[in-house]
Structure 1
Amino acid sequence: MNATIDIREAAAEEIRFAFATFSLGTVLVAASDTGVAAILMGDGRPALTRELTSAFPDARAVVDETGLEHTTAKVVDFLEAPHRGLDLLLDIRGNGLEQAVWQALRDIPSGETITYGQIAKALPLPATAQEVGAACAANVLAVAIPCHRVVKADGSLSGYRWGVQRKRKLINREALI
């Protein structure tokens, strides 16, 4: 008897992931063959797992706590002290505008903030503050792509994929260094 193989399933990319706790909740760290593909913050594993599968709908998500133990520890250290940097390869996926916004965000020094409009004006391609906000919302690499450093034109905090309270704490933590 011949077994049939679903080619789509066999060809699906594998995204391995693991969890850890840190001072602002739970973190899910996911890796592809290229590097860290997602750093998601939240309050519980089920919601973070759903967020991961939503971000990578064509991938096969596989729990790998042991295989990612070292990577997860490095991410937690980074989340606790972002000014030290993250010495891991990142698998950054996005369209052209998202990539440009995310690079601009990565250029913001720890402890500083910038407005959505300022980023839009500085990009090498035309964009609005709203488009910058949409790119921030699409980011799945928390703190590694520091969307938390972006504020409204009046300096106040606005939405953040992982909660405004986390955003405030991250900004305050970086300001103390």
Structure 2
Amino acid sequence: MKQHTVIDSPYGPLTLVATDGALSGLYMVGQRHRPPEEGFGERDDTPFGETTDQLKAYFAGELKAFDLPLRLAGTPFQRTVWEQLQKIPYGETRSYGELAAALGNPKASRAVGLANGKNPVGIIVPCHRVVGADGSLTGYGGGLDRKQRLLHFERGAALF
């Protein structure tokens, strides 16, 4: 069973989706790879109390790591990449190549990038912490402006 709600954030409205009570989606307005809304299930705030509380604490600068049950639909490789993303510490970044090497396949940086782009739970599974080999900001499903703002926020810079 799927349910969804929409919450406000400093980065615009966030659509939260739950599958059988576990968070399965966090989507921003205009996000690339955003599924059609008819697949989000009925609108119901019930399963999102803890997710909303943790997101509020994160945006207030009080939470550095999320602890939520997730139900992420993807290929085994995608799920492995998403697990690796959750190991990137708050305020730090990794390159696609570094993630590929951590997965034991240093030549898989392109595949890591594709899996990163399909992450269904942005912010909580911090795909915004992945940058190009030279440290440059590269693609982000929520838009490069949001990626830059999230990274500045995590590094202690004021939101703009």
Quick check: TM above 0.5? yes
Give the number of the structure whose residues are more often helix, by fraction: 1
Q: 2:6 aligns with which of 19, 23, 26?
A: 19
8 Å CA contact 1:108–1:149 kept in 2: the answer is yes
Matches within 5 A, 1:58-77: 61-65=41-45, 67-68=46-47, 70-71=49-50, 73-77=52-56
Matched with 1:11 is none
Matched with 1:3 is none
Q: Gaps (5+ residues) in structure 1?
A: 1-13
Shift in Å, 1:74? 2.1
Matched with 2:122 is 142
Counterpart Cα distance in 2 of 1:38 and 1:27: 10
8 Å CA contact 1:34–1:90 kept in 2: the answer is no
8 Å CA contact 2:4–2:16 kept in 1: the answer is yes
RMSD: 2.6
Question: Which string of whole-angstrom CA distances, capped at 9 and with x for unpartnered residues, describes residues 94-144 of structure 1?
Answer: 212111111111111001001001111110457521111100111010111
Counterpart Cα distance in 2 of 1:113 and 1:69: 28
Q: 1:107 to 1:53 in 2, by over 3 A?
A: same
> Which AA in structure 2 matches 1:120?
A
Superposition TM-score, scaled by structure 2 size: 0.84
Shift in Å, 1:60? 6.4
Instruction: Using the aligned pairs only, state the percent identity.
Output: 29
Shift in Å, 1:171? 0.6
Larger Rg: 1
8 Å CA contact 1:38–1:140 kept in 2: the answer is yes
Superposition TM-score, scaled by structure 1 size: 0.77
- Count of residue correspondences: 156
Q: Gaps (5+ residues) in structure 2?
A: none
Range moving further from structure 2, 88-97 or 14-23: 88-97
Q: Does 1:154 align with 2:134?
A: yes
